Structure 1
Amino acid sequence: MKNAVGRNYAQGKSDAELIGHIGFGHKVEVNNEAEKNVLITGAGSYIGESFIRYAAENYTSIKIDAIDMIDGSWKEKDFSNYDIVYHVAGIAHADVGNVDDAVKEKYYAVNTDLAIEVCKKAKAEGIKEFIFMSSMIVYGNSAPYGKEKIVNENTVPKAVNFYGDSKLQADVAVRSLADDNFKVIVLRPPMIYGKGSKGNYPTLAKLAKKLPVFPDVNNQRSMLHIDNLCEFICQIILVKKVKENAIVLIPQNAEWTKTTDMVREIAKDSGKKIRTLKIMKPAVLLGRKMPGKIGGLVNKAFGNNCYAHKLSVYDGLVYQKVSLKESIERTEE
């Protein structure tokens, strides 16, 4: 679990420790009237800003502040006035194939060290609950097109690059700080998308709006619309009691996504015409085998990467409110 510039918080951990306790382990009760003071560590982030807006519109009992993590002034912030710290600061979307050790070190400094430092401060200052944004990347890359990948409750996290490892190291380390008075909730969401998001979705949307044709191939991916994530966060913040000291939660949309279906919906919602053709399947099969960036892009677009549905169903929570079709409408409006 360690490379030249990595960390070793996960080194020597058992499979059970790496997997973590997935789910609450019991039916939970959400108190929508409870007042909660939440501190977001990572002001200006897409997830943080989206959550602030969503809570303001839908959960007025949740009061939220956010602080910037860039200049170090957060260290002087008094955390004791809050019930929950929600840590979203991090670096993502790495070009993992073409970076030097200095860039890798930055990923570990932000994704690993900063998360642990914030978690320790939260615990020391009497915070009751710490929520950490990990990622599906801790389970490695997507399976290439044509090969199935479904993560279940027995799948052991195994990072395959420095980005994934930087998230996994923090994922393990913050859970190790949990105790009876300091609950730690780690989230491992799949690709998050929505209006204004970065990453793979905007690239796919551009293709959907420009290309006259697109391959019609079968693949499956777990994804998470930003509104479903924000609803999930609001509900877990308002859960009356979390029994386990440290848990891993895996939110995702109710349905897996087929890339072709998503492109078709984006084009339709944008008023564009695009033909999806099964005869283009051989081109995808050829592209996935090409070395370098082309093969990587093909497998990223048409590969398979899913969470088992049952990992994302929690008795007492109802958060998968936005369907794929509606999520694209909201994103493209």
Structure 2
Amino acid sequence: MDSDFSIYDIILCTIGIAHISTDPKMEQKYYAINRDLPILIAKKAKMAGVKQFVFFSSMIVFGDDLQINETLFITNTTKPKPSNFYGKSKLEAEIQLLQLVSEDFCVTVIRTPMVYGENCKGNFQKLISFSRKAMIFPDIPNQRSMIYIFNLCEFVLNCLYNNITGIVYPQNSEYVGTSSIIECARKCQGKSVHFITIFNPLLYLVSRRIGLIRKIFGSRIYDRKLSPNIEAYNIFTFEESIQRCVQSIKTVP
């Protein structure tokens, strides 16, 4: 790296690869990008006199989703338990980065829950698109900690202004279930949805074997005590954020 970091006060490290592959051949690439590269950058930044290093980690360090009828409730005593090399590489990066903290160099580790927003990639965007046709949907009472991208941006600004050091846990003010996302998206489209429970027993059963079902209907939340001053950065409500996501889809050619 030939970049001159001495001209910067803060480095935001968003480098990373996520759920691209579970192929064991990819393992070393995950560690190289998610762990080794951020550590290298942080060390160079510290030597150059940078005051703060912000590392975007993930809720994934606590493991994958549980079965549908179980909740992963994360508190300040919950120990990280990553289940794959994506989570392990993030956790190992966190540990080594926090060892660099000194009086003149603070490290902020942001363990984000699911981040969503306009035209984002992944399962959330598919869910919003699916809502257009979802006249019926399974009524499963799951809960998620999530954060809208602009709420996350506001949270990051607060971390920068206050020189926050350590691990932080941003989230929306509301825990949200998958059915709530569908219902809100349909409402923003001027439509309604009918929730049914007839398939719930089958979904509970297949969630034991199929990870995608757990991702859609699983429950994984941060204790609100992990997220102090939550209203300070939640500049958009859940309903407002879904409205903006629905409108963005309408404007895409």
Fold equivalence (TM over 0.5): yes
| In structure 2, C-alpha distance between the alignment counterparts of 1:326 and 1:226, rounded to whole Å | 12
> How do residues 240-259 of structure 1 correspond to structure 2 at under 5 angstroms?
242=164, 246-259=165-178
- Shift of the alpha carbon at 1:277? 1.3
Report the secondary structure of 1:122's partner residue. helix
Verify the 8 A CA contact 1:215 1:284 in the aligned structure 2: no
> Which of 100, 105, 113 is the aligned partner of 2:24?
100
Instruction: Give unpaired runs (5+ residues) of structure 2.
Output: 248-253
For 1:177 and 1:142, the matched residues in 2 are separated by 31
2:170 and 2:178 map into 1 onto residues whose CA distance is 19
Say whether 1:298 aligns with 2:208. Answer: no
- Alignment length, in residue pairs? 247
Residue aligning to 2:233: 319
Distance 2:47 2:229 in 1: 30
Instruction: Please give the alpha-carbon distance, in whole angstroms, between the structure 1 residues aligned to 2:126 and 2:27.
Output: 24
- Match in the other structure for 1:41: none
How far apart in 1 are the matches of 2:41 and 2:174?
34
Correspondence 1:307 to 2:226: no
Q: Which residue type is aligned with residue 86 of structure 1?
A: L
Conserved? CA contact 2:61–2:82, under 8 Å: yes
Superimposed CA distance per residue, residues 176-227 of structure 1 (whole angstroms, 9 cap, x where no aligned partner): 1111111001000100000021222012223222333210110111001001
Alignment match, 1:198? 121
Please report how far the alpha carbon of residue 288 of structure 1 lies from its aligned counterpart in structure 2 after TM superposition: 1.4
CA contact (8 A) 2:67 2:204 kept: no
Instruction: Assess if the C-alpha contact under 8 Å between 2:53 and 2:105 holds in 1.
Output: yes
Mean CA deviation greater in 145-154 or 260-269:
260-269
* SS of residue paired to 1:305: strand
Distance 1:95 1:145 in 2: 24
Deviations 1:57-100 (A, max 9, x none): xxxxxxxxxxxxxxxxxx1111111111010111113343xx13
> What TM-score do you get using the length of structure 1 for normalisation?
0.71
Could you tell me whether the CA contact under 8 Å between 2:138 and 2:199 is conserved in 1? yes
Are the equivalent residues in 2 in contact too, given 1:264–1:276 (CA < 8 A)? Answer: no
Percent identity between matched residues is: 39
Gaps of 5+ in 1: 1-74
Alpha-carbon distance between aligned partners in 2 of 1:254 and 1:194, rounded to the nearest angstrom? 16
Instruction: Give me the CA root mean square deviation.
Output: 1.7
How far the C-alpha of 1:271 sits from its partner, in A, is 4.2
Q: 1:117 aligns with which of 40, 55, 71?
A: 40
Specify the code of the residue in structure 2 equivalent to 1:267.
Answer: R
Alpha-carbon separation, structure 1, partners of 2:81 and 2:205? 28
Partner residue of 2:201?
282
Equivalent in 140, 148, 172 of residue 217 of structure 1: 140
What one-letter code is carried by the residue in structure 2 that aligns with 1:233? Answer: V
Amino acid at match of 1:322: F
1:235-283 alpha-carbon deviations (Å, 9 max, x no partner): 21112x55xxx41110000110111011111222234543221233223
Aligned counterparts, 1:1-333, within 5 A: 75-96=1-22, 99-101=23-25, 103-239=26-162, 242=164, 246-289=165-208, 291=209, 295-314=210-229, 318-333=232-247
Report the TM-score, using the length of structure 2 for normalisation. 0.92
Q: Give the aligned residue type for 2:136.
A: V
Which letter does structure 2 place at the counterpart of 1:281? N
| Shift of residue 322, structure 1, vs aligned partner | 1.5
8 Å contact kept, 1:144–1:300:
no
